[in-house]
C-alpha cells in the first residue's frame, strides 16, 4: 500500500502544477511596443524600451511605462490601469474603453474596439519581454 501511495502522490503533485500553468492568460506578462501602424495618422516608431505594458490578468492590472508620451500622446501615458479581459471574446477594457487584441507569430496586437467599420484604426504591436 505504501508503494502505491508513494507512486500516486508525486503524480498528483505533477498534474496539479501543470493545470495551474495552463490557466494563465496568454496576455499575462511584460510586452514591449515594437510598432504603431496607422494609415492616415503620423506613425509612431518606438525604440526598444520606449513603451512597455505589464499585463496581469489575474489581478486585473495593466501598467503602462511610456518614455515618449510627451512627444506622442496617442500612445497612452505612464499609469496603472484597472484591466478587464473578456472571457469569451478577445476584448480588453481599461479607462472605460474597449480594445481588441490578438496574437500573430508570438506578437500581441491591440487596437480600439468599434462595433462598426472604421477606415483607420491605429494598431499597436508588442513583442514579449524576456
Question: Domains in the chain, please, with CATH?
Answer: 25-128 (2.40.128)
CA distance 65 to 63: 7
Least confident interval from 17-21, 45-49, 80-84, 97-101: 17-21
Q: Does the pTM of the predicted model rise above 0.85?
A: no
Give percent of the chain with pLDDT exceeding 90.
Answer: 47
In angstroms, what CA-CA distances link 110 with 17, 19, 45, 79, 85?
31, 28, 15, 17, 13
- Residue 98 is predicted with a pLDDT of 93
pLDDT band at 110 (very low <50, low <70, confident <90, very high): very high
Q: What is the mean pLDDT of residues 15-33?
A: 72
pLDDT at position 97: 92
- Enter the DSSP assignment of 130: -
Question: Residue 21 — very low, low, confident or very high, per pLDDT cuts 50/70/90?
Answer: very low
* 59-91 pLDDT, tens digit each: 999 999 998 866 665 678 899 999 999 887 899
How confident is the model at residue 2, as a pLDDT? 56
Cell numbers describing residue 23: 490557466
Per-residue model confidence (pLDDT) at position 5: 47
Amino acid at each position: 500500500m505504501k508503494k502505491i501511495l508513494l507512486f500516486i502522490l508525486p503524480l498528483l503533485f505533477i498534474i496539479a502544477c501543470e493545470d495551474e500553468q495552463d490557466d494563465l492568460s496568454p496576455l499575462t506578462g511584460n510586452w514591449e511596443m515594437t510598432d504603431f501602424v496607422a494609415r492616415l495618422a503620423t506613425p509612431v516608431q518606438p525604440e526598444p524600451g520606449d513603451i512597455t505594458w505589464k499585463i496581469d490578468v489575474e489581478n486585473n492590472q495593466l501598467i503602462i511605462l511610456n518614455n515618449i508620451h510627451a512627444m506622442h500622446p496617442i500612445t497612452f501615458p505612464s499609469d496603472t490601469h484597472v484591466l478587464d479581459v473578456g472571457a469569451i471574446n478577445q476584448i480588453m477594457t481599461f479607462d472605460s474603453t474597449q480594445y481588441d487584441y490578438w496574437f500573430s507569430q508570438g506578437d500581441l496586437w491591440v487596437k480600439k474596439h468599434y462595433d462598426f467599420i472604421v477606415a483607420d484604426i491605429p494598431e499597436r504591436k508588442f513583442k514579449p519581454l524576456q
